[in-house]
Amino acid sequence: MAYLSPANEMERLEALQRLAIIDAPGSPFLDRICRVAQQLFNVPIAAVTFLDATQQWLKSAVGIGDIKVTAREHSFCQYTIMHDEVFVVPDATADRTFAVNPFVTGEPGIRFYAGVPLTTEPGIRLGSLCVIDTEPREFKPDQAAILAGLGRLVVDELWLHQLEQVGFARTGLMSAPSGAASLAFDLALPLTSEQIRAGRALLNWSVRELSDASGISATTIKRIEAHGSDTVRKASVDAIRQTMENAGIEFMASADAKVGLSIKLKCKG
């Protein structure tokens, strides 16, 4: 069976195995996120999925009955895990890639799909949080940002699951999962619009100067500053963060999720 596969597929599958989430008991928290996503976007279906070597596992879902696993080759989420940003199909019947998909031509009659990858480490995308409609629709940047935020909540829950697995294994309360090395979750908070604007102010940089230094277009920087970092590619945000950190800006986050920044003064001499 043919399906899309990222370049780091073996590493991705190893991370999924270490997480040991597929065979774990259901999570009420993931169920709540799916219900929130369903209600926020007014869609009939929302799901948290994970993709192993050949199958798509629906770890939590609303609106699709008792379906727990499907063939990976027919999944929309196989496309989501190929990128860091939200993947959207406004009308599956108008898209050559999806028009003949059995979930489009048959039940549940998918027309609209939007999925955010569940990224636990840089480049490691284990699955997705997705919302599905049986009618075509558009998905605005602010809606994509909200879905991305819900996706981070799912990743937070996966991190807690991993801590439980490693902690219980160390105390002898349960056997460690196969290859029970801890996953290196990427827990860095996304840059906020305020942080980028404040960073430019501390550096006395214009948007054009930040663009020249980072290689990211001025239009993209303005979009981030107006609408937030979830509205553009993660690679663009990472480049801006790295550029500003190299210039002396230090981005900070406290335990209560408040963010800030400071500048490291360079000594003359």
Which helix or strand (DSSP H or E) is residue 193 part of? helix 193-203
Lowest-pLDDT choice from 137-141, 148-152, 200-204 = 200-204
Tally of CB atoms within 10 A around 95: 13
Q: What is the predicted pLDDT for the residue at 197?
A: 84
Give the whole-angstrom CA distance, residue 242 versus residue 124.
20
The strand ranges marked E within 52-174 are 55-62, 69-71, 87-89, 112-121, 124-133
Give the whole-angstrom CA distance, residue 167 versus residue 105.
46
pLDDT digits (tens, 9 = 90+) for 31-82: 999 999 999 999 999 999 999 999 999 999 999 888 899 999 999 999 999 9
One-letter amino acid for residue 7 of the chain: A
Fold of 9-168: Beta-Lactamase (3.30.450)
Give the whole-angstrom CA distance, residue 20 versus residue 130.
21
Are the CB atoms for 132 and 43 separated by under 8 Å?
yes
Going by pLDDT thresholds of 50, 70 and 90, the confidence category of residue 226 is confident
Which helix or strand (DSSP H or E) is residue 156 part of? helix 141-171
Average pLDDT over residues 219-231: 82
**pLDDT of 111 over the 60 cut:** yes
Are the CB atoms for 53 and 160 separated by under 8 Å?
no
Going by pLDDT thresholds of 50, 70 and 90, the confidence category of residue 258 is very low
Average pLDDT over residues 149-154: 90
One-letter amino acid for residue 220 of the chain: T
Going by pLDDT thresholds of 50, 70 and 90, the confidence category of residue 229 is confident
Going by pLDDT thresholds of 50, 70 and 90, the confidence category of residue 89 is very high
Backbone angles phi, psi at 21, to 5 degrees: -95, -30
Are the CB atoms for 34 and 61 separated by under 8 Å?
yes
Q: Tell which wins on pLDDT, 232 or 130.
A: 130
Q: What is the predicted pLDDT for the residue at 171?
A: 40
Q: Tell which wins on pLDDT, 187 or 131.
A: 131
**Whole-structure pTM value:** 0.66
Calculate the dihedral angle through the C-alpha atoms of 63, 64, 65, 68, rounding to the nearest 10 degrees. -130
**pLDDT of 268 over the 50 cut:** no
Give the whole-angstrom CA distance, residue 21 versus residue 157.
11
Average pLDDT over residues 188-204: 79
Give the whole-angstrom CA distance, residue 122 versus residue 64.
31
Q: What is the predicted pLDDT for the residue at 231?
A: 72
Domain parsing of the chain, residue ranges: 9-168, 193-263
Fold of 193-263: 434 Repressor (Amino-terminal Domain) (1.10.260)
